[in-house]
Structure 1
Amino acid sequence: MNTENTKAGVIWSFWGAAFLLLCVVFRDSLAEMVNTWTNVEEYSHGFFIPCITVYLIWMRRSELRLAQDFRESAPGLAVIVLGMLVFILGGLATIKTMEQYSFLVVLTGMFACAFGLRGLKTAAIPLLFLVFMVPFPAFILNNLSSKLQLISSWLGVEFIRACDIMVYLEGNVIDLGNYKLQVVDACSGLRYLFPLASLAFLCAYLFKGPFWQKLLIFLSAMPLTIFMNSFRIGVIGVLVDNWGTEMAEGFLHDFEGWAVFLLCMVLLFIEMWIFSRISGSKLAFSELVQIPAEWGRAPVSGFFVGQLNRSVFVVLILLIAGAGVSEMSKGREDVIPQRKAFLNFPTKLGNWQGRNDYLSQFYLNELKLTDYVIVNFNEPGTQNGVNFYSAYYQSQRKGAAVHSPRSCIPGDGWQIISYGQQEFPEFMLDGQTLELNRAIIQKGESRQLVYFWFQQRGRTITNEYMVKWYLFYDAIMMNRTDGALVRLVTPVDSAEDITQADKRLHAFLHDLLPELGSYLPGKTIIPVASIPASG
């Protein structure tokens, strides 16, 4: 017995050392993840996720057996190599989300090395549950939040109208006449969605029912969140209309949030109860989510005692090698190109006369930009002018990134009634015809024509997702993540044809683009007429 205990202690000490080394290698990514759990309410449930995973695996320890043959660990080693490659790429691009997901990949590979594919199959769902502890990238979070705000605002207003209260919705602003409520990021429903999605996944795993029912239980988390968050916004609107804005502030506001989340949990359990009735099992509420009785049996001897598989030494070598490559790349700092500050941007371009405008501190806090300019330009003797806005980021690594107008426009109450890309043969960039995004937006009787594009390290990009790809690519290859958004807006009168607005923006582009090049690093967009003829 003592020999067996000693042998088991040696085996587990090696795997314990491998796990500690894994945590050391990923320490910066894990520290940032924990910091997010601490400071971002949407992810405050993250502390519980690894604890639940460990508990679920421990409960099924009787089904686990240490891999006895090196060949059993080979698939796990391949997964570790893949995870370390993603980790190194994430380090070069300083994208912490990639590093955090690679941690889960490497951890899964290590588990497969220790227990083989049979053990991985046993622990697959608890390990997959760890995905819920990794925060989403900022740009996905922002886009998701803006869409949920719009949906929740609309459904909340419909509830208020059902209570026979006059209300007007303009984007995310609910106008009750005497009071106005703004549905901000904190009211988008993400604070319910992420914890409820985690809970729904766990409930689906432990629920006794067919796979299609488990899938629906998990997928129902989002509609439940949207519905209940909209109900909460509607209730707040009714309370504010009757008793004032204090109903939407302080303790009562937070209490309403907790009450709505608890209602979401109740609705989730009612859904499972209905599914149990459909299946014919007719489970009581207390039996809907239970740890199977067979999980708690005494562990088999193979869990504690086995042959010391040499794959553990390969795991240690892979972790040390990956850590070495990662540490070599940590000394890299962003290359910050030279440029003129927007403070010096002229208010006169050709015949256009401009007047500076400024963003409020609220928007500056949200956008996290490095520099920006807003100028309202007009030509003498004309009524309609052009609003020029550009936001510049010298680094887009740590949550600061260009915001797409497609996400921001609906939040101000405007509807995008036409959207697409348009080529401008009269302008060239690096031998390519200039292509910009073109949108017609409307709010009530008002219409506007919008041109916008992303000026990113010498490229003019129209697609938001291509912006993210080139950001990743250039961070590795050029060590640069600077970039900018350029947006032009002109009003369109009811009596004015849209082609006149297009001509106005075209004319403004001719005067703007030659000047803009010195303020945004990269190759300058130039009119074709200024290119010298060959020969």
Structure 2
Amino acid sequence: MPMNEILTFLKSVKPASWLKGILYSLLIVLIYRSSLQWLILRDWPREDYSYACLIPLVVLYLLWEKRSELISTPSTPSWMGLFPLGVGLVLFWLGELGGEFFAQYISLWLVIVGVCWMHLGWRKLKTVGFAFIMMLAMFPFPYFINAKISLTLKLLSSQLGVWMLQLYGMSAYREGNVIDLGFTQLQVVDACSGLRYLFPLMILSLIVAYWFKGRFWKKAVLFLSSIPIAIVVNSFRIALTGVLYSFWGPAVAEGFFHGFSGWLIFLFTTAILLAEMWVLKKIGKGMEKDEESIRSEVGQAADNAAGASVGWSRSFLQPQFIAVGVVLGLTLGLSQGVEFREKIPIKQSLDQFPLQVGEWSGTRETMEQQFIDELDFSDYVMVTYRDRQNQTVHFYTAYYENQQKGESIHSPESCLPGSGWKFSRAEEIALAAGNGASLRVNRVVMEKEGERQLAYYWFAQRGRVLTKLYQLKLYNFWDALTRQRTDGALIRVITPIAGSEKPEDADTRLRGFLNEAIPLLPEFIPN
């Protein structure tokens, strides 16, 4: 971009507006510092979201593209921006005290929208609305949503891949995410789910649709078509891997070829998207308005108004500026100056959990350090118990002295599917807890590569027994405010389901073990 354009734009903005922008930016960065660090250092390096680091550059370009319209449109400060600002701050505290980064990300977006709306007005906000929509692409989904999307894509891709292999003439059968080719088996893992192509292609199609000169329905078709295109092309990649495997062996399913084929597939889908644009442009071409002239007229009108100012306010005594500054300042002071969580130590170390539970004898196990670092618990126990018939129950409990963003309980609903387990049945059931009481727990039948297991799990949270992750977050938020406590534990038991064994028999085994184990838990976990 020409340097004179940049200088002209910078001169058009009043110094007071620059100072206010810098002050707001500083307050927002300080308020969301830990969340921004997590986003940049932990979320963006994830392979499924590695594209997200480019989104801020895209947003800046979209804003720069609208500079003329911004200059020509007068600022009309509005109190309507208080609504997104207020919702954003509520989500900030929900995420801060509940330990949820995604709530913080949406909060950050809403606060920025609210501040801009209050100072620039609705007309200017609408002018750069697409840039604000694109900002949302910077934020990854929560892990449990990401895992569900990935699992669904793996199933779709493997089904279509098998159909393509059979169409080619190869003998191929599918069991879950495993494709049996007779001479070998291909497992459709997370890297092959297509998620790493789907999100970037959807974002690319959204940008292309924004710039596409055509009716709204054409833009919608262009954007929505990216989803089936990504799924079908990824299935083709899986099928092609199966075909080439028969010629060159496992080298085509791993290493350089696997990664390089992913890039080729993405380029191929991009070419399909461009071809679709060409076809859509040809449909009803004569009936559409020439938008190029409209754009040039708007640009010319904006250029004629280049001398107009884009200042956010006439003075620092503007009510909106004072209100936003006070609210953000209080939020920063409370979040940094008040400790809402006390560390509640465990009653006694889980290392002391007995290895003899009724007729069950246990062998203590240890977790690899990389998983300990990832889970961030305060204490844990992992024991494999066996009864006299050599039946097995795996017992795991993790305790957290306090829970906060990045250091909270990981639900098995997220972790187990992430390691390849498919939940075939998931429900809540009641278990006897002694003294005639009962507790609700999650019951899950899961499968992986022909193996089946039955799992029970629940969250023991400061005298409550919870089964849902959203309950965990909400009670963490409430108890941090009212009790200064967010301590809690995850209890999980798993038993294998043998080949011809019924899940009901595994239920009997787990219930028998838990009848002996549940009364021991209050000796360790604070109430």
TM superposition score category, shorter chain reference:
0.7 to 0.9
> Residue 261 of structure 2 aligns to a residue in which SS?
helix
Taking a change above 3 Å as real, the CA distance of residues 200 and 522 of structure 1, as seen in their structure-2 partners, is farther
Within the candidate set 427, 432, 447, 1:420 is matched to 427
- Structure 2 CA distance for partners of 1:89 and 1:470, relative to 1, 3 Å: closer
Q: Take 2:164 and 2:153, find their aligned partners in 1: how far apart are those partners? A: 16
Q: Which of 500, 506, 512 matches 1:507?
A: 512
Partner of 1:349: 357
Answer with 230-239 or 144-153: which moved more: 144-153
Amino acid at match of 2:40: V
Q: Which residue number corresponds to residue 48 of structure 2?
A: 42
> Could you list the per-position Cα deviations for residues 338-385 of structure 1 after superposition, in whole angstroms to 9, with x for gaps in the alignment?
15455444343222344556777887787676634141422x3x47x3
**Secondary structure, in 3 states, of the residue corresponding to 2:497?**
strand
Aligned residue in 2 for 1:337: 345
Distance change (3 Å), C-alpha of 1:463 and 1:97: closer
Task: Show structure 1 runs of 5+ residues with no match.
Answer: 524-535
8 A Cα contact 1:66 1:114, kept in partner: no
In the other structure, the counterpart of 1:54 is 60
Q: Is the Cα–Cα contact under 8 Å of residues 448 and 490 in structure 1 kept in the other structure?
A: yes
Q: CA deviation at 1:216?
A: 3.6
Query: Residues 147-204 of structure 1: CA distance to partner in whole angstroms, max 9, x if unpaired?
Result: 3334333433443344444445454444545555443333332222222222122222
Query: Contact 1:57 / 1:123 at 8 angstroms: preserved in 2?
Result: yes
Distance in 2 of aligned mates of 1:442 and 1:35: 33
Give the Cα–Cα distance (whole angstroms) in 2 for the partners of residues 32 and 412 of structure 1: 25
Structure 2 residue 495 is the aligned partner of structure 1 residue 486 = no
Q: Distance in 2 between matches of 1:60 and 1:483?
A: 51
Residue in 2 aligned with 1:528?
none
* 1:390 and 2:396 aligned: yes
> Which one-letter code corresponds to 1:420 in the other structure?
E
> How far has the Cα of 1:126 moved from its partner?
1.5
Determine which of 3, 10, 14 is the counterpart of 2:19.
14
Give 1:29's aligned amino acid. S
Identity of aligned pairs, percent?
33
Specify which of 328, 332, 339 is matched with residue 323 of structure 1: 332
Q: Contact conserved, 1:428 with 1:434, CA < 8 A, in 2? A: no
- Match in the other structure for 2:124: 119
- The alpha-carbon distance between structure 1 residues 197 and 483, as it changes in their structure 2 partners (threshold 3 A), is farther
- Kindly indicate whether the alpha-carbon contact (under 8 Å) linking 2:143 and 2:414 is maintained by their aligned counterparts in 1: no
* Pair 1:110-2:119 in alignment: no
CA gap of 1:143–1:89, structure 2 versus 1, over 3 A, is: same
In the alignment, is the contact (CA less than 8 A) between 1:343 and 1:373 conserved in 2? no
1:461 equivalent in structure 2: 466
Aligned equivalents of 2:273, 2:91: Cα separation in 1: 36
Letter in 1 for 2:359: N
Q: Distance in 2 between matches of 1:150 and 1:408?
A: 16
Aligned to 2:271: 266
Distance 1:240 1:367, change over 3 A: farther
In structure 2, relative to structure 1, the CA distance for the partners of 1:102 and 1:411 (3 Å cut) is closer
Partner residue in 2 for 1:531: none
Q: Which residue of the partner structure matches residue 63 of structure 1? A: 69
CA distance in structure 2 between the partners assigned to 1:290 and 1:347 by the alignment: 80
CA distance, structure 1, for counterparts of residue 241 and residue 292 of structure 2: 33
Matched-pair contact (CA < 8 Å) for 2:98–2:474: no
Q: How far off is 1:511 after superposition? A: 1.4
Q: Give matches, 1:289-328, under 5 Å.
A: 292-294=295-297, 296-297=299-300, 298-299=302-303, 300=305, 301-304=307-310, 308=314, 310=318, 311-328=320-337
Asked if the contact 1:414/1:441 (under 8 Å) is kept, the reply is yes
Mapped partners of 1:223, 1:480: distance in 2: 43
Question: Deviation of residue 94 (structure 1)?
Answer: 4.6
Structure 1 residues 333 and 389: CA distance shift in structure 2, 3 A: same
What's the TM-score once normalised by structure 1's chain length? 0.79
Any conservation in 1 of the 2:154–2:189 contact (CA below 8 Å)? yes
Deviates more, 1:105-114 or 1:496-505: 496-505
**Does the CA-based 8 Å contact 1:209-1:279 persist in structure 2?**
no
Deviation of residue 258 (structure 1)?
0.8
Q: How many residues are aligned here?
A: 505
Q: CA deviation at 1:141?
A: 2.6
